[in-house]
Structure 1
Amino acid sequence: MLKVEGINVYYGNIQALKGVSLEINQGEIVTLIGANGAGKSTLLKTISGLLKPKQGQIIYEGQSIAGKAAQSIVKMGISHVPEGRRVFANMTVEENLDLGAYLRKDKEGIKEDFGRVFELFPRLMERRKQLAGTLSGGEQQMLAMGRALMARPRLLVLDEPSMGLAPLLVKTIFRIIEEINATGTTILLVEQNAHMALSIANRAYVIETGRVVLSGTPDELNASEQIKMAYLGGH
């Protein structure tokens, strides 16, 4: 579904991604694991059109999307939930969700998706008239995910969805990610919590200082001493 081939991305003179390649098949959950500053968020931003690669290819459903405008990429079916949630604080929950559908014209479908989001996140239904800025961190994360789903993506890109959340909420968010995937949405997940990420992923890539250093199934990565020591707390 998505093929990234040898991309190089720079911030000014600093090279953030060095020849990164990966692929995602339809229906998978693929996770990226790596330390802070390894280049994971940069990779997601490049896929969703917020950054342009200097070299390399990004092919989505057979079409080249490297360097395309972010809104065109949303239109093609990729939605990005950024790190730090980025909800519109002085708009209501309902208005935030509405913005997720801003490229769509199918009123009936949008209504249907409102229903779907409220089913996945009952808390948002209760808070729909509330300003997004008054929500808790967990509720804002739910809203950011719900807003991305309103674009009806075929590929949902999630950047650190569990960051700063209480353990119980982390479990909830991961359960919902699995539910979204079960309804046919492919997922690319960046997550500091490597244990949780590997527990739901089909495959994983490990990124270190801008390079993919390892990839495989969760079982393969869990069996790797190097990965255990670096990302799984040595257990």
Structure 2
Amino acid sequence: MLEVKNIDVYYGNIQALKSVSIEIKQGEIVTLIGANGAGKSTLLKSISGLLKPKKGDILYENQSISGKAAQTIVKQGISHVPEGRRVFANMSVEENLELGAFIRTDKAGIRDDFEKVFQLFPRLKERAKQQSGTLSGGEQQMLAMGRALMARPRLLILDEPSMGLAPLLVKTIFKIIQEINQSGTTILLVEQNANMALSIADRAYVIETGQIVLSGSSDELTASDQLKNAYLGGH
């Protein structure tokens, strides 16, 4: 479904990604693991059109999307939930969700998707008229995910969905990620909580200083000593 082929990405003169290649098959959950500053968000931004690779190519459903405008990529079926949630604080929950569907004109479908989002996240339904800035961190994360789903993505990119959340809420968010995947959406997940990410992912890649250093099935990586020592707390 998605193939990143040997991309180099720079911020000015600083190279952030070096010959990075990953692939995602339809229906999978693929996780990208790495320390802060390893290049995870840079890779996600390159896929969703916020950064343009200097070299290499990004293919989505066998078509190059490298360097295309972000809104074009959303229209093609990729939604990105950025790190830090970025909800529109002075707008209501409902208005945030409506914005997620701004590229769509199928009113009945949009209504259906409102209901689907409210089924996934009952708490958002309770707070539909509330200003988003007054929501808790967990509720804002739910809203950011709900808003991305309103575009009906075939590929959903999640950047650090559990960051700053209480452990109980983290479990809820991960359960919902699995439900979204089971309903047919492919997922690329960046997550500091490597144990949690590997527990739901099919495959994983490990990125260090802008390069992919390990990849394999979740089971293989969970068993890898290199990964255990670096990211899984050494046990």
TM range (shorter): over 0.9
Q: How many Å apart are 1:112 and its aligned residue?
A: 0.3
Distance 1:122 1:103 in 2: 25
The structural deviation recorded for 1:222 is 1.3
Separation in structure 2 between the aligned mates of residue 176 and residue 144 of structure 1, nearest angstrom: 13
Residue 105 of structure 1 aligns with which residue?
Answer: 105
- 2:66 corresponds to: 66
Aligned mates of 1:63, 1:73 — CA distance in 2: 11
Q: Does 1:184 align with 2:212?
A: no
**Structure 1 counterpart of 2:160:** 160
Distance, in Å, in 2 between the alignment partners of 1:218 and 1:233 is 16
CA distance in 2, matches of 1:124, 1:116: 11
Unaligned runs of 5+ in 1: none
SS at match of 1:158: strand
Match in the other structure for 1:132:
132
What is the rounded CA distance, in whole Å, between the counterparts of 1:50 and 1:221 in structure 2? Answer: 30
Counterparts of 1:221 and 1:62, CA distance in 2? 28
Find the residue that maps to 1:97 and give its secondary structure: helix
3-state SS in 2 of match to 1:151: coil
SS in 1 for 2:88: coil
Query: What is the distance in 2 between the residues matched to 1:177 and 1:193?
Result: 14
Q: CA deviation at 1:203?
A: 0.1
- Looking at structure 2, the residues matched to 144 and 222 of structure 1 have their Cα atoms a distance apart, in angstroms, of 29
How many matched pairs?
235
Cα distance in structure 1, aligned partners of 2:19 and 2:62: 20
Moved over 3 A (4+): none
Give the Cα–Cα distance (whole angstroms) in 2 for the partners of residues 126 and 217 of structure 1: 39
* Aligned mates of 1:97, 1:16 — CA distance in 2: 33
CA shift, 1:62, in A, is 1.0
TM-score under structure 2 length normalisation: 1.00
- Residue 83 of structure 1 is matched in structure 2 by 83
2:10 alignment partner in structure 1: 10
SS state at 1:213 partner: strand
Partners of 1:223 and 1:99 in 2: how far apart?
Answer: 42
Paired residue secondary structure (2:165): coil
Q: CA deviation at 1:4?
A: 0.3
AA partner of residue 60 (structure 1): Y
Q: Distance in 1 between matches of 2:217 and 2:59?
A: 22
Task: Show CA shifts across 1:147-203 (max 9, x none).
Answer: 000000000000000000000000000000000000000000000000000000000
Letter in 1 for 2:97: L
Report deviation, 1:67.
0.1
Correspondence 1:29 to 2:29: yes
Instruction: Give the corresponding residue for 2:145.
Output: 145
Amino acid at match of 1:161: P
**Counterpart residue number, 1:95:** 95
Q: Deviations over 1:14-33 (max 9, x none)?
A: 00000000000000000000
Q: Hey, what does 1:196 align to over in structure 2?
A: 196
One-letter amino acid matched to 2:115: G
Shift of 1:5: 0.2
Residue of structure 1 equivalent to 2:175: 175
C-alpha displacement at 1:223, in angstroms?
1.3
Name the % identity.
81
TM-score calculated relative to the size of structure 1: 1.00
